[in-house]
Structure 1
Amino acid sequence: MEAPVAGIDVSKDKLIVYFQGKFYEFPNDKQGFEEVKKVLPRGCKVGIESTGVYHVNLAKCLMNEYEVRVINPLVIKKFKDFRGKKSDKNDAKKLAELVVNMGSEFTLSDARELTSQWDFIVKSIVRVKNRLRRDLILLGYSDSLSRKNLSEVLEGGDNIILSEVKFLLDELERLEARKREVEKRLEDVVPRDSLIFTIPGIGKTLGLIILARVGDVRRFDDKRKFVAYCGLDPVVESSGGSVVSRGISRRGDAVLRRAFYLAALTAIKVNPVIKRFYEEHKGRLKGKKLIVACARKLAVITWAVLYYNKPFDASE
């Protein structure tokens, strides 16, 4: 017997629930979540549109008792008749219909939220390390974060700067532990047998990040659309008879763009295609611009591998 299906339209302050021909309205808070549970039977399939951060707490609350399907708005746009007459009730009903019609094809877990946490943690680690290096120089030591150098620093006399160093080291340890925890959880919610891992330069963690952010790559029927989604598409301006490059658009997914940038740093050394691309362009491009170009090339390769479902082949 098929599990019953519900749709929930989520806004900042309220939830509109559609279930078996009836509509219910609850506040978007813990009390409202409990009211939703009173209406929906355990095991029910629940369709929720991903709406910034407003759907996250609801999805987490329902996930243990219901088959929650957080549906990407970009997926929803593929269905031209989804919206129909715009209203919260209509959206809730259509979400339920979408879950029925699409089955499990477009089910999303909280993997995307995990990638946002990972990105925040990585940036926080960089900031803490930069502050640590600054403090080490002020104390008269090298800015190395090696165990030997830090041990020498910690043996010094107590002062305001050394107190901050101790605090920052504790903070760094906490952040590193949380980063490992998030990466472990990503392994549990993202497929580890994806062909993305046949691409040299894309390791386990960055591969999981990319897969979680991209979702179903088949929604990008052209590599240029995928590159634009990553925000790695070049911005070119023409003036008179000249054409000037203005860098990349940065309009796409910032987490995805950063993942490809980090992967490109490794791919330059181990991926024959990216390595050749790097050598061919290093005379014209310098520094970050060259790395970004390599990241764009790596994104194109990733799209092709996932879209055509073929392992990486350096000869193609």
Structure 2
Amino acid sequence: MKNNKLNYSGQKIIVGIDVHKKNWHITIIANGLKVSSLSVPPYPNKLYSFLVKHFPNGDYYSVYEAGFSGFWAHRELCALGIKNIIVNPADIPTKTKERRRKTDKIDSEKLARELSAGSLEGIYVPDKQSEGFRALVRLRRQLSKDQSKVKNRIKSLLLFLGEDVPEDINTKNWSQKYINALKELPIEVKESKQTLDNLIQYLEVIRLQLAKVIKQLRIAVSNNHEARKIVELLMSIPGIGFTVGTIIYSEIMDIKRFKNLDQFASYVGLTPDVKASGEREHVKGLSKQSNDKLKNYIIEAAWIAIRKDPALLMAYGKLKSRMSSGSAIIRISKKLLNRIRYVWNNEKTYVLAVVE
């Protein structure tokens, strides 16, 4: 009597997952052939049950793009025995027709195809504790941006009304005394006054929330030995304070994942975007593939660092003699990355160089 029981033992079952809130579109490749393309409920255990039923005892491999869905699905897939990776969408090789015609089915097929070909490399996935710390740091950044937006709305309103306001309207930090002065402005039209009062109240709510989050961050850092150690090391570098130090730590988490400075700079986004054809090579500026949450703060820190570090100031002067100030500060930013990498890898406080 024949044994018709399926057994995929020792065979790779590749699954490309296009993740959405209501469903996942999956494409399955087995032995180099596309065998299934369908939608399944958006739960790792449902996908696992489908694989076990239709491809029993197989070695399951899956991939999905980084995005709104975060890392929870990755952790559950791995816990179920599925070897999953998450990839940066910009790193996925894409055919011209796939760019022109984008559907869930095409996206999942592309992921399965490239995973099967071995051309995909997974991104770094932090543990839950690190992910939580990163979320709090990013919330501080978002609140800071919201605060700036409300200040700009207040400034725009006052300019539109032709009101005379104190000169420090353009300063970065508004004191409570200054905000109280804005409340007392004698605006004639009732509705205009109400608009200003509402904007000021909104600003004060954001300020309170921002202060609360900053306090929570300081507590989180002080209670985490590794975070406290690394942030203190980073703060020994000119241009890096507590805020930037926590941003760098939360976005990197593990400096060892970068084998060299070029890999680190590429992740941050401080490498050139080069277009080469034959013997011609054209540099189009900084690469668009970057961690914007990190890059902008590193560049801002570099501007502060050249005022505090004599060696960086001297290097900036030499660079500026042969290029624009913007190009020069990008070079200084990469030097700053090298300092960050050094103190983190060697766990040594940064010592200012002496220029003779």
1:178 maps to which of 205, 209, 224: 209
Task: Find the aligned partners of 2:164 and 2:252 in 1 and give their Cα distance.
Answer: 44
Following superposition, the deviation at residue 109 of structure 1 comes to: 3.5
Q: Partner of 2:44 in structure 1?
A: 16
The code of the aligned residue for 1:15 comes to Y
Tell me if structure 2 keeps the 8 A contact 1:236–1:245: yes
The code of the aligned residue for 2:156 comes to R
Q: Secondary structure at the match of 1:110?
A: helix
2:317 maps to which of 273, 276, 279: 279
Counting aligned pairs with the same residue, the percent is: 22
Task: Find the aligned partners of 2:299 and 2:144 in 1 and give their Cα distance.
Answer: 14
With over 3 angstroms needed to count, the CA separation of the structure-2 counterparts of 1:281 and 1:131, relative to structure 1, is farther
Q: Partner of 1:210 in structure 2?
A: 248
Q: Partner of 2:154 in structure 1?
A: 132
Task: Find the aligned partners of 1:281 and 1:50 in 2 and give their Cα distance.
Answer: 39
With over 3 angstroms needed to count, the CA separation of the structure-2 counterparts of 1:134 and 1:106, relative to structure 1, is closer
Task: Find the aligned partners of 1:50 and 1:238 in 2 and give their Cα distance.
Answer: 28
Q: Partner of 1:96 in structure 2?
A: none
Task: Find the aligned partners of 1:126 and 1:286 in 2 and give their Cα distance.
Answer: 29
1:144 maps to which of 151, 168, 181: 168
Q: Deviations over 1:186-222 (max 9, x none)?
A: 3305612212222121111110111010011101011
Q: Partner of 2:229 in structure 1?
A: 193
Following superposition, the deviation at residue 58 of structure 1 comes to: 8.7
Q: Secondary structure at the match of 1:235?
A: strand
Counterpart mapping for 1:231-246 below 5 A: 231-237=269-275, 245-246=283-284
State the Cα RMSD in Å: 4.2
Tell me if structure 1 keeps the 8 A contact 2:310–2:353: no
Asked if 1:52 corresponds to 2:67, the answer is yes
Following superposition, the deviation at residue 268 of structure 1 comes to: 2.4
Q: Secondary structure at the match of 1:251?
A: coil
Counterpart mapping for 1:24-39 below 5 A: none
2:185 maps to which of 139, 142, 155: 155
Task: Find the aligned partners of 1:309 and 1:10 in 2 and give their Cα distance.
Answer: 41
Tell me if structure 2 keeps the 8 A contact 1:10–1:16: no
Q: Deviations over 1:242-293 (max 9, x none)?
A: 8654321131211011221232232222233333333233344445444444
Tell me if structure 1 keeps the 8 A contact 2:275–2:281: yes
Tell me if structure 2 keeps the 8 A contact 1:196–1:202: yes
Q: TM-score, normalised by structure 2?
A: 0.56
Following superposition, the deviation at residue 112 of structure 1 comes to: 2.0
Following superposition, the deviation at residue 51 of structure 1 comes to: 5.0
Tell me if structure 2 keeps the 8 A contact 1:136–1:153: no
Q: Secondary structure at the match of 1:132?
A: helix
The code of the aligned residue for 1:111 comes to F
Following superposition, the deviation at residue 301 of structure 1 comes to: 1.7
Q: Deviations over 1:78-107 (max 9, x none)?
A: xxxxxxxx99xxxxxxxxxxxxxxxx9996
The code of the aligned residue for 1:140 comes to E
Following superposition, the deviation at residue 233 of structure 1 comes to: 1.2
Q: Secondary structure at the match of 1:310?
A: coil
Q: Secondary structure at the match of 2:228?
A: coil
Unaligned runs of 5+ in 2: 1-16, 24-41, 51-63, 75-83, 88-110, 113-125
With over 3 angstroms needed to count, the CA separation of the structure-2 counterparts of 1:196 and 1:152, relative to structure 1, is closer
1:305 maps to which of 343, 347, 351: 343
Following superposition, the deviation at residue 227 of structure 1 comes to: 0.6
2:200 maps to which of 149, 157, 169: 169
* Structure of higher CA gyration radius: 2
Tell me if structure 2 keeps the 8 A contact 1:10–1:55: no
Task: Find the aligned partners of 1:149 and 1:158 in 2 and give their Cα distance.
Answer: 19
Task: Find the aligned partners of 2:326 and 2:194 in 1 and give their Cα distance.
Answer: 35
Tell me if structure 2 keeps the 8 A contact 1:305–1:311: yes
Q: Secondary structure at the match of 1:263?
A: helix
The code of the aligned residue for 1:157 comes to I
Tell me if structure 1 keeps the 8 A contact 2:183–2:197: no
Q: Partner of 1:38 in structure 2?
A: none
Tell me if structure 1 keeps the 8 A contact 2:179–2:200: no
Q: Secondary structure at the match of 2:273?
A: strand
Task: Find the aligned partners of 1:182 and 1:227 in 2 and give their Cα distance.
Answer: 29
Q: Secondary structure at the match of 2:43?
A: strand
After superposing the two structures, state which structure 1 stretch, 107-116 or 197-206, moved more: 107-116
Q: TM-score, normalised by structure 1?
A: 0.62
